Structures are given as structure tokens and as C-alpha cells.
Amino acid sequence: MRGALFPVLGLALLLGACAQTPKPSVTPTLPPEVTKPTPSKAQVRMRTFAALNGWAEDQHGEALKAFQISCKKLMTLPGHRSLAVNGAVPSGTIDDWKSACGAAASLSIADHLGAKHFFETWFVPYEVKDPTSENGLFTGYYEPELKGSFTQGGVYQTPLLSRPADLVSVNLGSFDKDLGGNTIWGQVKNGRLRSYPDRAAIEKGALGALGQPLLWVESPVDAFFLHIQGSGRVRLPDGTIARVGFAGKNGQTYKSVGRILIDSGEIPADRLTMSAIRNWVDKRPVEGPELLQKNPSYVFFRLLKGDGPLGAQGVALTPERSLAIDRRYVPLGVPLWLETRDPLNKNIAFHHLMVAQDTGGAIKGMVRGDIFFGAGDRATKRAGNMKRPGRYYILLPHSVSPIG
């Protein structure tokens, strides 16, 4: 999950994908600061596919692949369940999507024209607009790659911790439906849910025996950025890849170290990049780690098998087809037609059919999205430079009407 404060640092200000976690075995006492969210309603207007800029030129088979993956997840849910959480664009129930998902399953992702015809046959596009803003904001994220080992030694001294046994996640919607999909994290002490230790305390050993390393990586800065991304690849000494994903977090509020460096005058805003932060930290063996600890948020990891990385929907993400969204306005699993500009050249259109498969702590707003660009140098560069205005259209089955 994710949102850019600066064009070239979008990827470093993102919160990682939130995977599904078990419900707690205790009834928590909710903190007093937890209040019911009251998001404003988005404006929804029916459109035609002919009105979508660039629709005919897209490679629809690539989006079909992502949609097929989401359908497999959707079809495991009860038919009466609504896709949208409270306040989001009405998107029907799982039953409303069964026919479209069934039809998609038999199609070839190599047949782009067939995929285009499928979406035009089964869906109706609706523009989603924020009544207070003409355009939305779209940023990017990627899957980072680190160097690491399953054993500590040599350059591998920074641990990626597995989820501690005492870390509890609470889906507030289980206790009050108006709280929707909001989740809080903590630990139970004396029958009450308490806040979990912050980054500085964890790195100083506050978890004791509960702090079990999953892997050891070479760079503490890379580990820090991995915490922000939430998932990534670790290249082991023998050249093989271990994929790690989000397993939980301490629930502390994320604080941007980039903003700290700007506010303190250490790095001008127009020169703030991942490399600039890395260089600043690496050159200061004392102040560097202290800076990173000023972000109290801390993420725990697990090993992933199969394709990845996994988004908040619990499915593998597809480069340049998976979009992180704000679930208060858009449900997971739905196709979205995105109209924005290329991250490296604003004169080039980025018009793609996407699928909402992820969320992010910094992705807040009616028309707000974070594009998953994949892994590697190209993806890193595109994600880091993605900060463009734009808009999107939600595609809904004919049986669903979000208007009225």
C-alpha cells in the first residue's frame, strides 16, 4: 500500500501491501482515538467505451490476465457478500460477478481483441469523480530486490523479522460495520489491547525472543525501503531468489524520513531521491540509523511461495495492470480504466485497463491510485518518477447500477 509526496520519491513513501491476517482470539478494548470514518460520496456517471481515451489501442489481454487472477479470489467468497465496503461505489455482490468471471476463465490472454470484446460485452464503464477536485493523483510502486542470506554473517547483519507471536490484528468492521475494512495492530496485556513497540524499540531488542529473523540482508537502508514497500525479492548468495511479503506491522503511524530531511534543510526538496537518502544515511554511521528510527512504523515479513508479490486482495500482482486504491471508494477485484500520463514523459499517455488488487496507507482519496510497475531497474525508475494527475472509470456488470 502507498503515495508519493515527491515525484522522484513516490516509491519510498509507500506503505506495503496489507495481507489478510487472522482475527484475534480476544475481544479488544478499542483505543479512544478510533472514530468512524465518514468519507464523502464519489460522483459516478455512466459512460460508453467509445468515450474512454485510448480504449481501442490497449492490450486488453494483459488486463484480462489480472482480472482472471482476481476472479479466482472473488469466487471463493460467499455469493451474498458485497464487494464494496461501507461508502464505496456500489458494485453488487459476488453473485453479480459470477457470470463475468466464468466467461473470463475460458478466454486466452494472448487474444487482445477477444479480451477487448469480453470487457465490452460484460461490463458498463462509470466515471468516478471527486466533486471537490478536477483530477485524481496517481503514483507508482515496485518490487525491490535485496541481497541477503538465511544465516547471519559477513555483510548480512540486518534482520528481516517474522511476525511475532504476540502481535494481534483487529478488523474493526467485525465489531462495527461502519468502521469498514479498518484494521488496528497491537498486543494484549492484562486483557486489553495495547500499542506495539515502535521501530526504535524493536531495533534495540524490545521483542526479546519474540523477534525471530526470517532473513539477514546486506543493507539497512534497503531493509528500511522494503518495510515501506511491504514486499520484495531477496537474492541469496547462491543466486536463487527468496520472495518475502507483508506478514504484519506494529501499527505505529508512518513518518516520512524524506520530509524530515527536507524540513531540517539537509536535502532540498527538488533533490530528494532514494539515492540521496541512501547516501545521507550511509555517510553518517550514527545519525543515519537515528534518522531511520524516526519512522516508528515497522513491518514483519513471511516467505512467499509461487507468483508474487501479493496485494491486499491476496492475489499476485501484475506489472502495470495492478492498481492500489482506497477501499473507502473502490472495492478490490474490479476492473478500472485508467487515464493518466507516462511517468518518464508527460507527453505520452498512460491509458490502461487495470484491476484494483492492492491498497496502501498513503493511498487516500476518491480518485487515487498507485500503479504496480513490477521488479528490476526499469520498474524502479518508472515507479520512482510516477506522480501524475488522472482519472479512472470503474467497470461494473450490467446487473449492477451504482447510480440512484
Peptide bond into 90 cis (omega under 30): no
Region for residue 39 given its phi and psi (left: phi exceeds 0; alpha: psi -120 to 50; beta: otherwise): beta
* Exposure of 3 in the CB half-sphere (CA atoms within 13 A): 19
Q: Report pLDDT digits (tens) over 367-394.
A: 999 999 998 889 988 998 899 999 999 9
Is the pLDDT reported for residue 262 higher than 80? yes
Q: What mean pLDDT is predicted for residues 137-142?
A: 93
Q: What SS3 class is residue 202?
A: helix
Q: Report pLDDT digits (tens) over 95-111.
A: 999 999 999 999 999 99
Residue 151 within any structural domain of the chain = yes
Residue 99 within any structural domain of the chain = yes
Residue 117 within any structural domain of the chain = yes
Torsion of CA 188, 194, 199, 205, to 10 degrees: -50
Residue 277 within any structural domain of the chain = no
Vertex 373, ends 199 and 66: CA angle to 5°? Answer: 110
Residue 281 within any structural domain of the chain = no
Cα–Cα distance, 235 to 231 (Å, whole number): 13
- Contact between 296 and 199 under an 8 Å Cβ cutoff? The reply is yes
pLDDT-derived band at 185 (thresholds 50, 70, 90) equals very high
Region for residue 5 given its phi and psi (left: phi exceeds 0; alpha: psi -120 to 50; beta: otherwise): alpha
Residue 276 within any structural domain of the chain = no
In this prediction, what percent of the chain has a pLDDT beyond 70? 89
Residue 140 within any structural domain of the chain = yes
Residue 302's domain is classified under what CATH number? 2.40.40.10
Cα–Cα distance, 354 to 295 (Å, whole number): 32
Residue 57 within any structural domain of the chain = yes
Q: Which domain holds residue 387?
A: 7-31+42-256+295-397
Give residue for cell 460508453.
48
**Which residue type occupies 129?**
K
Cα–Cα distance, 192 to 282 (Å, whole number): 41
Q: Which residues contact 210 (CB under 8 A, 6 or more apart)?
A: 164, 165, 166
pLDDT-derived band at 66 (thresholds 50, 70, 90) equals very high
Q: Distances from the Cα of 187 to the Cαs of 166, 210, 398, in angstroms?
A: 6, 12, 45
* Exposure of 43 in the CB half-sphere (CA atoms within 13 A): 11
pLDDT-derived band at 40 (thresholds 50, 70, 90) equals low
If residue 249 lies in a helix (H) or strand (E), which one and from where to where?
A: strand 241-249
Q: What mean pLDDT is predicted for residues 176-198?
A: 86
Q: What is the C-alpha R_g of the chain?
A: 21
Say what the pTM is.
Answer: 0.74
Domain count, the chain: 1
Write out the three cell numbers for 198.
515502535
